A and B are shown apart, each in its own frame.
Chain A
Amino acid sequence: MTSVLTPTTSDDLSDAIADAARSGTRLAIAGGGSKTEIGKPSNAVRLDMRGFAGIIDYDPPELVLTVGAGTPLSEVESLVAAHGQMLAFEPWDHGPLFGKPAGAATIGGVVAARVAGSGRLTRGGARDHLLRFEAISGKGERFVGGAKVVKNVTGYDLPKLMAGSWGRLAAMTQLTLKVLPRPRASATMVIYGLSPVRAHAAMARAMSSHAEVSAAAHIPKVSGAERSTTALCIQGFEPSVAARCALLVDVLRDHGTLHTLPAAEAESFWRAVREVTPLASSKTLWRIDVAPSTGPAIVDAFESLGARWLFDWAGGLIWLAFDGDAGRVRPAAERAGGHAMLVRAPEAMRTVVPAHHPRVPAVAALEFRVRRAFDPHGIFETGRFLDESNAD
């Protein structure tokens, strides 16, 4: 049997999946493979979706873009940028994080993995921008969910389920995304030298102000800089950006002195945050989702154990580079009401520690039933996520 399938039409894909269902073959749905090193390595047959590539329909004033799921992310981003628009959830390419060249990530891959950048804080994630999809389910059936309009409540919101489904429900062939105008102007204001507690307080104050901050992040000294940097991004039309920057200086006067970062530095700062470059040398990398106020206690505890870290999403996303006892991370996230994903780790660790935070039994059972609703034979269960005993 071949170890890679490369269908290019929905009919071929449907046949391939129906054949796999009959023969009990497991299929690992894949795009460019930029996130293959997440989760337990699998020997499943690779279902390469890059044959479903290309721009299908783009109408900029409607704010709606339809593309093949296997279209490279970089191609989608260039297209919308050329029309003064953007993917507002700021998906990014995981390749470099795993030592691979950039450029392989596909739009289907980033949506299926729910990848979002700093703008997630205020503009929503992949879930909020996926309007419609076409897919082949685990029975080989072609179906659609959602519609090519920005406002729709007709039937269950299946696009929400597909965003973040990690290839476990169905193979998406086509995606319709909501796009937004790219801000005409952007300014980044920073405060240097804040502790985690004070950085959180400054970010919380900024997010509660009229300055309409679009992103807030903090890179501590421990993650390689000379001093910590707390950054706030303000975007929009030029007169508005200028007025809101002035407002922010006033709002944060008790928190520290604000400096405007030059454009090139600002760009590299936000790229570093989004792509986690300050933590690139670590073996083990976690991402912890919590309510922002719980972040400082978590990072203090792990810093004393030798961890490095950074905050995005105003502290609601903690990237934690920690090579110590993995058993400490999830309990800490849980105590804060959140959860932790193991993004990068040595293979030996990935074969025993699940990539996704285990859910309580009732929710795990419900997720299992929902997965079987799309994939009754479990052919998309490759064992990668260590939560299906029959899939290893």
Chain B
Amino acid sequence: MSLTMPQPDDAILARRGEIIAALRRIVPGEGVISQPHELKPYETDGLTAYRQPPMAVVLPETTAQVSAVMRYCNAQGVKVVPRGAGTSLSGGALPLADAVLLGLSKFSRVLDVDYENRLAVVQPGVTNLAITRAVEEMGFFYAPDPSSQIACSIGGNVAENAGGVHCLKYGVTTNNVLGVELVMMDGEIIRLGGRQLDAAGLDLLGVIVGSEGLLGVVTEVTVRILPRPQTARAVLVGFASIQSAAQCVADVIGEGIIPAAMEMMDRSAVHAAEAFANVGYPLDVEALLIVELDGPLAECDYLIGEVERIARANAAVTTRVSRNDAERLAFWAGRKAAFPAVGRISPDYYCMDGTIPRRRLPEVLQRIAGMSASHGLRVVNVFHAGDGNLHPMILYDANRAGELERAESFGNDILRLCVEVGGVLTGEHGVGVEKRDLMPVMFSEIDLAHQQRIKCAFDPGLLLNPGKVFPTLHRCAELGRMHVHRGQVSFPDLPRL
């Protein structure tokens, strides 16, 4: 692995027994895990290429316990890595050898459903899908729907600002969270936001969402819930070229239509998905679009007609409209099976997550094809077409010497390309450890210093989830002294992680 994590502190490791004993006094019973074989399940998250058992795992059950653990660790200079369900694809919950892994899995209760104000108050360990399950009998749902929604927790969704296929219409996590209870690294418990739309003062809630567990530990979340759409219909459109598919997407939005979801698959993704799921995808196309419209029946019918018209104008070679919900779900079954489908044609794959301006799509896919040839690795592309979020999956075999390194190098080239055409390193998976060292491709040192100074305002000792997001660990005092004027950087030459 090319990744370097902060050097473990020998003085902390030497005090391991004492630290575990102190944690046991705060969280009695089975809430502290320290045996090596019991630590094993916590050594990685959804980014399984990286593994590191933590010094200990603590699983508190109350906010007071979280606060006491954080206060103790802060006072003792012990690092803390928060963990939700452990489904991060960017290594956000990767442990450190000298850190306490703080798991929120026991915070699993729905505390309040307030239909009158259309919100739910939940603990962070509640899964994304469980929120919808808790409110669906009254006809509501929680809109952000990351594909891991059966397993991922709302606390992790807040940390990563999770998206999903329906975020084009309904927004990502940050647009659907009203408030949090947050425990800071020094143990202080604060509330940001509440049950109203805006908070008083600075929008600190806005910066907590997507902060990847570096600013505080969320112990309660208030989310908006929405009436479930009356109906949903999907149209499956095949194209003879990526260009015409991309133009169709631009024209749908140009006509003022914001579909609930608009997904694109390239030829290789269509073939892999069809071989796996047998859902009847056309195989003689270069690009396949799934466009889902939801809302009242009259709206769906009208918009499906409009999308069909726009598709025909863009030389669609096949157009199929779902006739019932079973058929709509079948259209999705292939797309949603893209990961296991790719898993069947390749021993390993590496999923990327850049976003680009949509108009650059044909050019970007062409250049990815070129990189595929030069790196000698196949790539399968699925794409949240409506918002420009690309998920190229690089196929490799970890058992072949050098292939993982080549896959990572290919992935980095893709992300550099995304930034080059005006896009970003990550649209919904987070920076974590995975994209940490690429941050300077997108941000200058001055830009990053401004972000890191926020970290210092929350956690001046840099004890919470260090080694994630930022490629360089500047001590807060150094950041304060750093002076840059008119872009003239006078940076101390600090060691990289």
A residues lining the B interface (CB < 8 Å): 11, 14-15, 18, 59-64, 84, 114, 120-121, 124-125, 127-128, 137, 139-145, 147-158, 160-161, 163-165, 168-169, 180-184, 204, 207-212, 236-237, 239-240, 242-244, 247, 289-293, 313, 316-317, 337-339, 341, 356-357, 359-360, 362-364, 366-367, 369-374, 376
Question: Shortest CB–CB separation between residue A268 and chain B, in angstroms?
Answer: 25
Does B11 make an interface contact (CB < 8 A)? Answer: no
Contact A165 B116 (CB under 8 A): no
Contact of B450 among A153, A291, A374 (CB under 8 A): A374
Contact B450 A181 (CB under 8 A): no
Contact A61 B210 (CB under 8 A): no
Question: Shortest CB–CB separation between residue A240 and chain B, in angstroms?
Answer: 3
Give the CA-CA distance A140 to B482 in the complex, in Å: 12
Question: Shortest CB–CB separation between residue B259 and chain A, in angstroms?
Answer: 12
Contact A161 B485 (CB under 8 A): no
Question: Shortest CB–CB separation between residue B135 and chain A, in angstroms?
Answer: 11
Interface code B204-248, partner A: CB below 8 Å = 1, 0 otherwise? Answer: 111101110000000000000001011000000000000000000
Contact A291 B195 (CB under 8 A): yes
B residues lining the A interface (CB < 8 Å): 114-119, 139-140, 160-161, 163, 167, 171-172, 174-175, 184, 188, 190-192, 194-207, 209-211, 227, 229-230, 250-251, 253-258, 295-299, 301-303, 306, 355-359, 384, 387-389, 422-431, 435, 439, 442-444, 446-451, 453-454, 456-458, 469, 480, 483-487
A156-B160 contact in complex given A208-B227, A376-B480, C-beta closer than 8 Å: no
Query: Would you list 14 pairs from A and B whose C-beta atoms are within 8 A, ordered by A residue?
Result: A140-B485, A140-B486, A145-B450, A151-B172, A152-B355, A154-B431, A160-B209, A240-B302, A244-B296, A289-B198, A292-B116, A293-B114, A367-B204, A372-B457
Question: Shortest CB–CB separation between residue A28 and chain B, in angstroms?
Answer: 18
Contact A61 B359 (CB under 8 A): yes
Contact B387 A316 (CB under 8 A): no
Contact of A18 among B116, B192, B423, B485 (CB under 8 A): B485
- Residues of B contacting A127 with CB < 8 Å? 203, 206
Contact A155 B196 (CB under 8 A): no
Contact B296 A373 (CB under 8 A): no
Contact A293 B359 (CB under 8 A): no
Contact of A212 among B160, B174, B295, B428 (CB under 8 A): B295
A154-B200 contact in complex given A61-B254, A204-B116, A373-B456, C-beta closer than 8 Å: no
- Residues of A contacting B256 with CB < 8 Å? 84, 181-184, 237
- Residues of B contacting A145 with CB < 8 Å? 447, 450-451
- Residues of B contacting A125 with CB < 8 Å? 197-198
Give the CA-CA distance A207 to B117 in the complex, in Å: 9
Given contacts A338-B195, A366-B190, list 6 more A-B pairs with CB under 8 A: A144-B447, A145-B450, A155-B469, A157-B174, A208-B115, A291-B194
Contact A207 B118 (CB under 8 A): yes
A120-B197 contact in complex given A156-B211, A292-B117, A363-B190, C-beta closer than 8 Å: yes
- Residues of A contacting B486 with CB < 8 Å? 11, 14-15, 140, 142
Contact A160 B196 (CB under 8 A): no
Specify which of A153, A207, A313, A316 lies most central, judged by the most chain B CB atoms within 10 Å of its CB.
A153
Give the CA-CA distance A356 to B373 in the complex, in Å: 58
Contact A143 B447 (CB under 8 A): yes
**Across the A-B interface, the 8 shortest Cβ-Cβ residue pairs:** A160-B206, A243-B298, A181-B256, A240-B299, A373-B453, A291-B195, A369-B457, A339-B200
Contact A370 B204 (CB under 8 A): yes
Give the CA-CA distance A245 to B4 in the complex, in Å: 59
